[in-house]
Amino acid sequence: QVLSHNLYTVLCIPHDPVALEEHFRDDDDGPVSSQGYMPYLNKYILDKVEEGAFVKENFDELCWTLTAKKNYKPDRNGNSVVSHQDAFKLWCLFNFLSEDKYPLVMVPDEVEYLLKKICTAMNVELNSCELDDCLAQEPQGQGGLTVWQFLDMVNSGRLLRGIEQEAISMAVEEVYQEVIEDVLKQAGSPRGYLWKKGQLRRNWSERWFMLKPSALSYYMSEERKEKKGSIALDKHCCVEVLPDRDGKRCMFCVKTSSRTYEMSASDTRQRQEWTLAIQTAIRLQAEGKKSLHKDLKQKRREQREQREQRKAAKEEETQRLKQLQEEKERKLQELELLKEAQRQAEMLLQEEEQRRRQQHEEMQRTLEIQLREAEQARASMQAEMVLKEAEAERQRKRIMELEEMQERLQEALQQEVKARQDEEAVRYAQARLLAEEEEKLKQLMKLKEEQEEYIIKTQLEKQVLKQEMENKNKCLEEAQKQLEEVRVNRQRVDQDVMAAQRKLRQASTNVKHWNVQMNRLMHPIMPGDKRTNVSGGGFAGYQPLLGRRDSSLK
């Protein structure tokens, strides 16, 4: 109940004690664990929180009070490097810079970043070697340090040795304001105050300024007890450097949409620092970013991820090179084995070559014997060739006779083809006449049908349509005459077709006759045949046939 009451108070939520009793009504025996309290915390408290409705610092102080008593262990003798309040601010900085996962840890890069900012605020240099030793000694779970390990490391004094606690406290306060409170720039010493020109009286007043991303506020003093005003910054604002005038030097102005604020710095360096800081705040407003360090934290995280990716890629490349080296060694071993196999193969090849040489010599002797036998066979073949040449001469003469016979057959075939073409032309003309006859018959039938229709109508209008019927009769007679002419033409074409068919049959008879003569001539001449029979009965035997062929063609 006390915890819930405090959370209701710091988060500015209306108190609801009845909800706690109703939530734990069925389970009110014994203490409440964190797992048992979380559903109530989420439902009745955290779900009702509105952003910007509570003070973040008060909520941080409550969480620090709940956790520090059990986990934070400062030096009991009072020799701690940082005070209790500074430890709280370091705890807030740790929560801001830690990774966005539970349990919260801060990676070594962010630890080094935070310690460097604190050392820079004190104008000292961080001992990186000492930091590496401390990080190596600390057990890092989940890839980083917990907040209590971080505070113990700072309180150990190894990193901030020889520095007064007051200087450390001022540095922690400056980093806390810059990171947690989003203070981009403030005047931290009397000489760092800025002079501001009034709007109404136009006089110059010394003010202590503090810059945040959304506004440039100014106070009477650095205690910030009396706020004199604030300059709202947006993307339409700008900062410009002014020339010295009115006895003031190192002047600059901030222009907003409604007013121009003139200010004077103590020196040129301070003016440059303020103009750059104000330009940074305007740039954040233009980009829609509320916190500079949240943006820087995200960029550092992306850089770490890129480094991890490059590291993983490098390790992968190393592994790949290692595999390639192993593969190379394995290939070399295989190459040695191949060389050994090659040497053995060369030895076998030499043995095979010697055996082949012996076989070649034996084969050469065998070929010489066969060559002598071939010479003897050649002499016998030459004698046979003389006889073959004489036989070939007789065959050439017979072939010439056959070629002449083939030419005559080709002429007969051409005549037959021409007769067939004539027959096709006559058939085509006959088909055309038949088509015309059918067309005329259709017209005649159509005229007859029309005549019948007109006859039916003439029973009612006989006197009116008598002349039309006579015209139709005349047309019918003309059509009948045309039909008769078509029939006469058809008979004439049929006679032409019959004459062409007779010619075709006569040409076919001639072709058959020449085929018979060709078959007789194709009979081969045997070695025992007498040449007188061939020469005596050559063309003389063909004379009657040629006479019959000429008479048939006529």
* pLDDT tens per residue, range 490-515: 888 888 889 888 888 888 888 888 88
Determine the average pLDDT of the residues in 341-359. 91
Q: Give yes or no for residue 141 having a pLDDT over 80.
A: no
pLDDT value at position 305?
84
Query: By the 8 A CB rule, do 263 and 251 touch?
Result: yes
Q: Tens digit of pLDDT for each residue in 205-242? A: 888 898 888 888 888 888 888 888 889 988 889 999 99
Q: Report residue 326 as tokens.
A: 């192993």
pLDDT value at position 333?
92
Among 409, 387, 439, 424, which Cα is nearest to 513's?
A: 409
Rounded Cα–Cα distance for residues 524 and 376 (Å): 32
Determine the average pLDDT of the residues in 111-133. 83
Whole-Å CA distances, 534 to 397, 475, 544, 546: 10, 76, 17, 18
Which residue matches tokens 């003070």?
55
SS3 537: coil
Q: Give yes or no for residue 541 having a pLDDT over 50.
A: no
Please state the φ and ψ torsions of residue 247, each to the nearest 5 degrees: 75, 10
Among 66, 67, 284, 292, which Cα is nearest to 181's?
A: 292
Helix (H) or strand (E) holding 215: strand 215-219
- What percent of the chain has a predicted confidence (pLDDT) above 90? 10
C-alpha atoms less than 13 angstroms from C-alpha of 17 in its C-beta half-sphere: 4
Among 232, 229, 239, which Cα is nearest to 205's?
A: 229
| Distance in angstroms between the alpha carbons of the first and the last residue of the chain | 142
Rounded Cα–Cα distance for residues 268 and 243 (Å): 12
Rounded Cα–Cα distance for residues 3 and 45 (Å): 11
pLDDT band at 253 (very low <50, low <70, confident <90, very high): very high
Query: By the 8 A CB rule, do 182 and 293 touch?
Result: yes
pLDDT value at position 254?
92
Largest separation between any pair of C-alpha atoms in the chain: 158
Among 251, 210, 249, which Cα is nearest to 233's?
A: 210
Determine the average pLDDT of the residues in 141-165. 79
Lowest mean pLDDT among 128-142, 152-166, 417-431: 128-142
- What percent of the chain has a predicted confidence (pLDDT) above 70? 90
pTM, whole model, 2 decimals? 0.51
Please state the φ and ψ torsions of residue 238, each to the nearest 5 degrees: -155, 160
Which residue matches tokens 């037959």?
416
Which domains are seen in the chain, by residue range?
1-54 (no CATH), 55-297 (2.30.29.30)
CB atoms within 10 A of CB 1: 8
pLDDT value at position 525?
57
Which residue matches tokens 């309180």?
155
Rounded Cα–Cα distance for residues 171 and 84 (Å): 15
* More confident: 278 or 74: 278
User: Helix 84-97 and helix 108-121: axis angle, to 10°?
Assistant: 130
SS3 145: strand
Q: Tens digit of pLDDT for each residue in 366-396? A: 998 999 898 888 888 888 888 888 888 888 8
The burial of 194, by beta-carbon neighbours within 10 Å (0-12 exposed, 13-18 middle, 19 or more buried), is given as buried
Radius of gyration of the chain (CA): 63
pLDDT band at 156 (very low <50, low <70, confident <90, very high): confident
Determine the average pLDDT of the residues in 157-172. 81
Measured over the CA atoms of residue 29, residue 35, residue 38 and residue 40, the dihedral's sign is negative
Among 65, 73, 15, 70, which Cα is nearest to 44's?
A: 15
> What is the residue-averaged pLDDT of the chain?
82
* More confident: 342 or 126: 342
pLDDT value at position 533?
42
Q: Give yes or no for residue 529 having a pLDDT over 70.
A: no
pLDDT value at position 547?
43
Highest mean pLDDT among 48-62, 199-213, 336-350, 399-413: 336-350
Rounded Cα–Cα distance for residues 486 and 437 (Å): 6
Rounded Cα–Cα distance for residues 61 and 64 (Å): 5
Chain CA centroid to CA 424, Å: 69
Determine the average pLDDT of the residues in 359-368. 90
Query: By the 8 A CB rule, do 218 and 209 touch?
Result: yes
pLDDT value at position 526?
57
* More confident: 294 or 538: 294
Among 501, 484, 344, 353, which Cα is nearest to 419's?
A: 501
Determine the average pLDDT of the residues in 446-456. 84
The burial of 5, by beta-carbon neighbours within 10 Å (0-12 exposed, 13-18 middle, 19 or more buried), is given as exposed
pLDDT value at position 474?
87
Rounded Cα–Cα distance for residues 442 and 448 (Å): 10
pLDDT band at 553 (very low <50, low <70, confident <90, very high): very low
Q: Give yes or no for residue 136 having a pLDDT over 70.
A: yes
Q: Give yes or no for residue 31 having a pLDDT over 60.
A: yes
Rounded Cα–Cα distance for residues 63 and 96 (Å): 14
pLDDT value at position 137?
76
